[in-house]
Chains A and B, each alone.
Chain A
């Protein structure tokens, strides 16, 4: 919102010596954020009225003249190209050094070899309109040497632009009188008493006993809190006086005519929007009530709006007149022909106005203010101020009767809040005295009584929403005292140990292990995905239950059911740039759930890509090491019939063979697989991709710790025995390791595969190494021999013959 300081000065004297930037900064620090400081018409003070005395042709240029003029006591000469230049004409002159609107600063300059001492100006150059390109022609009786500001009888002004968002909670700051009150508290100067009872009595004295032509009736179910109206006759609609135009235009409002301008003027001044009707357009009386579903109403902007049953409409006997609190109708407004008016000053329920304006996408100066919860008491003052101004612009206007009112009972009783000096100081961390606190409250128009325990009476215009409890009062004190006066200190607290939650602990383990051990880069993919990506991935579940109603794009309109589709998309991006890469994400998948709407699973996903190599075994190695690192007992099983919650077996992206279930504590919590080339082809990925998906949700709630166990190291040597068996091609080499279970030999320390050698088309030769040993003795040769024979026998019994 633009704040005109001239206007503010109607109500409070600002210190003359204060620099405008310091003032803006104080406002930012105390009340609301100033975004910009602007000066209006500052140049008009410097620009002077001059009279042209002599015109010569420029020696070097046909279209240019050398123009000499009288500034009042002296003369100057400029190079000028304006077509309407003539001797005797009075025009505005900007001397060297003047800064014109748009920031253009006049510098001494030679034009085609002749020095020009400034510039004679057009209206456009002065920012006074966009008239012709010629010089601005001033009246012949203009005083030479006078400033253009004096000539135009206009004023220069300074505007500060305040961020509207920082005023959201302050309905009282949407008018200049309220803003002036803030300045009076900031500078400890009194607020002027312009709207006192004497002023009111002056206007009320014009009320009379004439019949009231327009009566009002308010339906209590509507959004109306209270509705004031008054009828006036003998109105002359014309251009507003220049001072009013200047003020409105300075703050960005368009001047229309004296009556419409009054409604805007009072809105800016007191913060209360109002509506002025052409009374001859009102048929019968005014009724305020709820609209009917489907009612059509054409607003001032000539858009036909469809209303719903919760909108409040102001109507006469025949038609809708005003969409309450939002915008007037196209038919009832004041125009040049208007002779008789009806002024409405009403207050509306904030939430209802907000609902209507949001639904219709129609935000107006009026709805913006009503949404903030305005004070009902403000209506009558605003009505008087409007009448006041009507008489100023139309001295012959006649009031018919007196104001009429319908609505809630108006109460001027102030809300009371109990607080204490101790509480205020405790919240702020300050040591203010009772006197200091009382002084601030008083400057903000709060009534205070008490000493340590305080009873605060809140002005009605602050009580609608902003000031509800003593914490709100503490803010009033803090901001006026200045938050920079608060001493900075550490609280005195008991020292207690803090540790990471299991969730955080596992998050860090994932990040550390994957980045340091698996040499993988962490990525973040969007938790929101679109149908297109899921279809492209052939993902069987479109997650329609977790779709958004107000997505910003179809690419992000639902929660991801899995990290996998996004992983494939990222792989496609990176396969263009790298021959090999690995990335991981610690993210969530979101799935619908019948009893609680949704479930979020904490997943670690790892993807390995290589243009040429198969990284599936690397992926499994990483998986095993990672599960060991977390201290989890696990099994890696060739995928069985049991469904895997991380990948649906119907998914076409699964490799027919390279797919295992990861089972932890009897529960399938993960899957590792290679992605089927068919699905890779849909992403135009050339190369091989393998993925690990592991659901760690269970371990985010309860700490997992890797338990290390000590066992004594044998003092006796162990003995190794190698043997080579035949394993059919196509079987896993590790199948022969199951012999260890058969052996049930407590002296068998380990059994590992030493090497695998392709023997022929039928068999691979797999060399196994048995290691035997005992903690308490050296095994005798005969015992070892027995163990070896048993091993060979058991291998044969499970189908693995020795290679001969």
Chain B
């Protein structure tokens, strides 16, 4: 009997395979596992079987019935799918017609490269506990010069060509250092902040000079801030920007608002050790920095006997130029989207 049941399973499988109509499948189901189906017929002989056989036949017939049922359901789904696929074929779309293949004009969005680099530097400092500030572009002499220890008679005023307004009292800020004073005024030491923004210089515009560009100022004031801390933050910043340890050197630099003042250079090229003349070359002057001058702390309302601090300034446009090996600074403000779209998100 077991053999009979097994052979029924085999013959079912042979019969079900070629079927492609729902009705035929249902008929086949009735033929095998219907009340008067073939399996039932065979099972009528059960009473003649021995006790041992009965123990095996029961489960076997159930197993075959279940297999047939599953097979029927699969077959029915397959038939539905192939019928549906016929319909779907008629709804076929051309998915090669994607935006990237179509003339949609300029279909991209993005942030200006100066602001991209600005934001990444803001984030580096934010992660180290610095706030991010800005201030007005139109400034007074007080914030741009006097409070920064640059009195009217100071030759340093020659070093910066300032745009003046008709009232002779207002000017366009020549550096983001104005943010130092405004930042100090609004805070109580200890504090730390950076201040990115636009600055203006009365310079003829050419491939490497702009009358309007971007700086990022930084300042940290506390009870025991020293030059070693300044170097630490600068090295950390550069490591984050360039994604590797950068060799830096600090040398004396003169800026009225810091004392001691430094120029920070980064090792840009390894010099050829055999080239005697070039053994000290390969440094790139990157950022002026220093310990905040006591007069500047005072101007910002900070007690210079109690607190010390460092400050630095970074040229963002220059960093963009170096990073992308740009040859002409004027593209930054031109608004020619053939340039801007090179830095798009997508």
Q: A19-B276, A515-B110, A522-B115 are in contact. Are A483 and B132 (CB under 8 A)?
A: no
CB distance from A509 to the nearest CB of B (A): 12
Report Cα–Cα, A550/B293, bound state, in Å. 30
B70: CB under 8 A from chain A? Answer: no
Name the CB-closest residue of A to B283: A28
CB distance from B171 to the nearest CB of A (A): 9
A2: CB under 8 A from chain B? Answer: no
Task: Provide the residues of chain A in CB contact with B335, threshold 8 Å.
Answer: 523-525, 566, 569-570, 573-574, 583
Q: Which of A508, A559, A581, A588 makes the CB contact (< 8 A) with B337?
A: A581
Task: Provide the residues of chain A in CB contact with B146, threshold 8 Å.
Answer: none
Report Cα–Cα, A350/B107, bound state, in Å. 60
Tell me which residues from 380 to 428 in chain A have a Cβ below 8 Å from any Cβ of chain B.
426-428
Tell me which residues from 325 to 339 in chain A have a Cβ below 8 Å from any Cβ of chain B.
none
Task: Provide the residues of chain B in CB contact with A549, threshold 8 Å.
Answer: 164-166, 168
> Is A598 a contact partner of B170 (Cβ separation < 8 A)?
yes
Q: Which of B159, B165, B229 makes the CB contact (< 8 A) with A548?
A: B165
- 0/1 string, B147-167, CB within 8 A of A gives 1: 000001101101100111111
Tell me which residues from 110 to 130 in chain B have a Cβ below 8 Å from any Cβ of chain A.
110-112, 114-115, 119, 122, 126, 129-130
Q: Which of B133, B259, B341 makes the CB contact (< 8 A) with A501?
A: B133
Q: A21-B277, A168-B159, A579-B103 are in contact. Are A28 and B110 (CB under 8 A)?
A: no
Task: Provide the residues of chain A in CB contact with B119, threshold 8 Å.
Answer: 508, 511
Task: Provide the residues of chain B in CB contact with A30, threshold 8 Å.
Answer: 251-252
- 0/1 string, B129-149, CB within 8 A of A gives 1: 111111011100000000000
CB distance from B261 to the nearest CB of A (A): 7
Tell me which residues from 250 to 301 in chain B have a Cβ below 8 Å from any Cβ of chain A.
250-254, 259-263, 276-277, 279-280, 291, 293-294
Task: Provide the residues of chain B in CB contact with A518, threshold 8 Å.
Answer: 109
Pick from A31-39, A251-259, A733-741, A792-800 the stretch touching chain B. A31-39
- 0/1 string, A136-150, CB within 8 A of B gives 1: 000000000000000
CB distance from A528 to the nearest CB of B (A): 7
Task: Provide the residues of chain B in CB contact with A517, threshold 8 Å.
Answer: 109
B198: CB under 8 A from chain A? Answer: yes
B45: CB under 8 A from chain A? Answer: no
CB distance from B269 to the nearest CB of A (A): 16
Name the CB-closest residue of A to B338: A577
CB distance from A461 to the nearest CB of B (A): 17
Q: Which of B162, B252, B344 makes the CB contact (< 8 A) with A475?
A: B252
A104: CB under 8 A from chain B? Answer: no
Tell me which residues from 743 to 799 in chain A have a Cβ below 8 Å from any Cβ of chain B.
none
Report Cα–Cα, A569/B336, bound state, in Å. 10
> Is B260 a contact partner of A427 (Cβ separation < 8 A)?
yes
> Is B202 a contact partner of A550 (Cβ separation < 8 A)?
yes
A710: CB under 8 A from chain B? Answer: no
Report Cα–Cα, A137/B322, bound state, in Å. 54
Report Cα–Cα, A19/B276, bound state, in Å. 9
B315: CB under 8 A from chain A? Answer: no
Pick from A280-288, A297-305, A485-493 the stretch touching chain B. A485-493
CB distance from A440 to the nearest CB of B (A): 14
A372: CB under 8 A from chain B? Answer: yes
CB distance from B190 to the nearest CB of A (A): 7
Task: Provide the residues of chain B in CB contact with A672, threshold 8 Å.
Answer: none
Tell me which residues from 631 to 689 in chain A have a Cβ below 8 Å from any Cβ of chain B.
none
Report Cα–Cα, A200/B199, bound state, in Å. 53
Q: Which of A371, A524, A574 has the most B CB atoms < 10 Å from its CB?
A: A524
Report Cα–Cα, A578/B114, bound state, in Å. 23
- 0/1 string, A541-562, CB within 8 A of B gives 1: 0000111111110001001000
B18: CB under 8 A from chain A? Answer: no
Pick from A260-268, A466-474, A714-722 the stretch touching chain B. A466-474
Task: Provide the residues of chain A in CB contact with B138, threshold 8 Å.
Answer: 546, 559, 590, 597-598, 600
Q: Which of B112, B137, B277, B294 makes the CB contact (< 8 A) with A524?
A: B112
B51: CB under 8 A from chain A? Answer: no
Q: Which of A33, A526, A545, A598 makes the CB contact (< 8 A) with B263?
A: A33
> Is A471 a contact partner of B291 (Cβ separation < 8 A)?
yes
Task: Provide the residues of chain A in CB contact with B341, threshold 8 Å.
Answer: 521
Interface size class on chain A is 35 or more
- 0/1 string, B184-212, CB within 8 A of A gives 1: 00000010000000101011110000011
> Is B294 a contact partner of A469 (Cβ separation < 8 A)?
yes
B232: CB under 8 A from chain A? Answer: yes
> Is A427 a contact partner of B308 (Cβ separation < 8 A)?
yes
Q: A548-B165, A550-B164 are in contact. Are A521 and B344 (CB under 8 A)?
A: yes
> Is B260 a contact partner of A474 (Cβ separation < 8 A)?
yes
> Is A548 a contact partner of B235 (Cβ separation < 8 A)?
no
Task: Provide the residues of chain B in CB contact with A479, threshold 8 Å.
Answer: 252, 260
A24: CB under 8 A from chain B? Answer: yes
Name the CB-closest residue of A to B345: A515
> Is B222 a contact partner of A491 (Cβ separation < 8 A)?
yes
Q: A522-B115, A598-B138 are in contact. Are A484 and B250 (CB under 8 A)?
A: yes
B17: CB under 8 A from chain A? Answer: no
Task: Provide the residues of chain A in CB contact with B130, threshold 8 Å.
Answer: 498
Q: Which of A32, A475, A494 makes the CB contact (< 8 A) with B259?
A: A475
Task: Provide the residues of chain A in CB contact with B158, threshold 8 Å.
Answer: 354, 358
Task: Provide the residues of chain B in CB contact with A804, threshold 8 Å.
Answer: none
Task: Provide the residues of chain B in CB contact with A545, threshold 8 Å.
Answer: 166
A516: CB under 8 A from chain B? Answer: yes
Task: Provide the residues of chain A in CB contact with B202, threshold 8 Å.
Answer: 550, 552
Q: Which of B163, B211, B225, B260 makes the CB contact (< 8 A) with A478?
A: B260
Report Cα–Cα, A610/B103, bound state, in Å. 12
A449: CB under 8 A from chain B? Answer: no
> Is A166 a contact partner of B212 (Cβ separation < 8 A)?
no
> Is B252 a contact partner of A166 (Cβ separation < 8 A)?
yes
Report Cα–Cα, A610/B138, bound state, in Å. 36
B21: CB under 8 A from chain A? Answer: no
B244: CB under 8 A from chain A? Answer: no
B249: CB under 8 A from chain A? Answer: yes
Tell me which residues from 149 to 204 in chain A have a Cβ below 8 Å from any Cβ of chain B.
165-166, 168-170
Report Cα–Cα, A58/B111, bound state, in Å. 73
Tell me which residues from 64 to 123 in chain B have a Cβ below 8 Å from any Cβ of chain A.
103-112, 114-115, 119, 122
> Is B291 a contact partner of A500 (Cβ separation < 8 A)?
no
Name the CB-closest residue of A to B236: A490
A25: CB under 8 A from chain B? Answer: yes
Task: Provide the residues of chain A in CB contact with B137, threshold 8 Å.
Answer: 527, 588, 590, 600
Q: A428-B226, A559-B138 are in contact. Are A475 and B260 (CB under 8 A)?
A: yes
Name the CB-closest residue of B to A584: B109
> Is A520 a contact partner of B336 (Cβ separation < 8 A)?
no
- 0/1 string, A1-26, CB within 8 A of B gives 1: 00000000000000000010110110
> Is A520 a contact partner of B277 (Cβ separation < 8 A)?
no
Task: Provide the residues of chain A in CB contact with B332, threshold 8 Å.
Answer: 524
Tell me which residues from 32 to 69 in chain B have a Cβ below 8 Å from any Cβ of chain A.
none
CB distance from A204 to the nearest CB of B (A): 35
B227: CB under 8 A from chain A? Answer: yes
Report Cα–Cα, A371/B137, bound state, in Å. 30
24 A-B contact pairs sorted by A residue (CB < 8 Å): A28-B251, A29-B251, A33-B251, A427-B227, A427-B291, A469-B294, A471-B259, A475-B252, A488-B232, A490-B229, A490-B232, A498-B131, A503-B134, A518-B109, A520-B109, A522-B340, A526-B212, A546-B138, A547-B165, A552-B202, A574-B335, A577-B337, A578-B105, A580-B104
Ordered nearest first, which 8 A-B pairs have the shortest CB separation? A580-B105, A429-B228, A351-B153, A570-B335, A475-B260, A429-B226, A483-B250, A581-B106
Extra inter-chain contacts (15) besides given A33-B263, A426-B226, A521-B341, CB under 8 Å: A21-B280, A32-B252, A427-B227, A475-B259, A478-B227, A479-B260, A488-B231, A489-B229, A491-B224, A511-B119, A526-B212, A549-B164, A574-B106, A580-B106, A590-B138
Chain B residues in contact with chain A, CB under 8 A? 103-112, 114-115, 119, 122, 126, 129-134, 136-138, 152-153, 155-156, 158-159, 162-170, 172, 190, 198, 200, 202-205, 211-212, 220, 222, 224-229, 231-232, 235, 249-254, 259-263, 276-277, 279-280, 291, 293-294, 308, 332-338, 340-341, 344-345
